[in-house]
Amino acid sequence: MKLLVLYLLTLCLIFMSMILPVQAAELKVDLGRGVTTYRTEALLKRHDVRTIDVPGDVAFHRTMHYRAVPLTALLEGIDTSDHLQFVAGDGFAAEIPAALLLNKQGSEAWLAIEDPAQPWPALDKGHGHAGPFYIVWTQPQAAHVNPEQWPYQLATIRKLGGVAARFPAILPDPSLPANNQVQRGFVVFQHTCFACHTLNGEGDARLGPDLNLPHNPTEYLRADLLRAFIRNPQSLRQWPQAKMQGFDAKALSDADLDAVLAYLRHMAKHKAAH
């Protein structure tokens, strides 16, 4: 009798899950005037939502079609001096200056919205799912948008102070000239590595390990192996569950790779107390 009751209860739960509406996802936006919450169904009914084509989509590596809203329409009041952080459900935290979002070169950021009735496909290589919200770009090459500025699984957008002000322990020696390779590497680091990693214990990302504590990768990997790892992590250690995706020469030029390695070598000599 107990088994029969359990069986009937299971069938009832399955039936209820089929007839109940799919729970809409929520995106929280905080521009310093209180939190605004956007829900899937409301976003999909906006007057400015449209279908866009995204060739060479960063997450799916092919042309994708999305229902999307111009991102700046949700960020009214920002100006080029502002700084925004995009936090994903998996711990990824992309730092994007408002100047890039407001660029006049032709690159446009969109909030792609996953329709529960037409879900997006799964990502390749076990990287999960891109929904419910994903920042995509049209004509990204015009303003040199890099792959780390396409955050998916997006949960929160916040206006914050710049990275240097919030995380002083990641700053290189201030006596270095502005055109020094280490300073250039610091800029590249913010656009590429800092979305997944902390450094000297500072940063909001929770996806990858700290890159200076207890050891900096330049301290335990040969330069050629570290370069190979950044280009293609699976070339150094094959691990199906690995989340890090490589940076090819289009995403990270050889000159920028040299610069970020110079920054890491420099920071290996400037570890925070722990």
> Over the stretch 66-92, which tens digit does the pLDDT of each residue have?
999 999 999 999 999 999 999 999 889
HEC string of 205-228?
CCCCCCCCCCCCHHHHCCHHHHHH
pLDDT at 240: 65
pLDDT at 212: 97
What's the pLDDT band for 20 if we cut at 50, 70, 90?
Answer: very low
Yes or no: say if 266 and 273 are a contact pair by the CB < 8 Å rule. no
DSSP string over 17-32: HHHSPPPPPEEEEESS
Mean pLDDT of the chain: 89
Residue for token digits 């995380």? 167
Provide long-range contacts, Cβ within 8 A and 24+ apart, for 137-144. 137/54, 137/107, 137/108, 137/109, 137/110, 138/52, 138/54, 138/107, 138/108, 138/110, 139/106, 139/107, 139/108, 140/107, 141/107, 142/103, 142/105, 142/106, 142/107, 143/100, 143/103, 143/105, 143/106, 143/107
The CATH code belonging to domain 165-267 is: 2.60.40.420
Find out if CATH 3.90.580.10 is the number for domain 22-161.
no
What's the pLDDT band for 1 if we cut at 50, 70, 90?
Answer: low
Yes or no: say if 40 and 132 are a contact pair by the CB < 8 Å rule. yes
pLDDT beyond 60 at 23: no
Global confidence as pTM: 0.80
Extents of the domains making up the chain = 22-161, 165-267
CA distance 263 to 217: 12
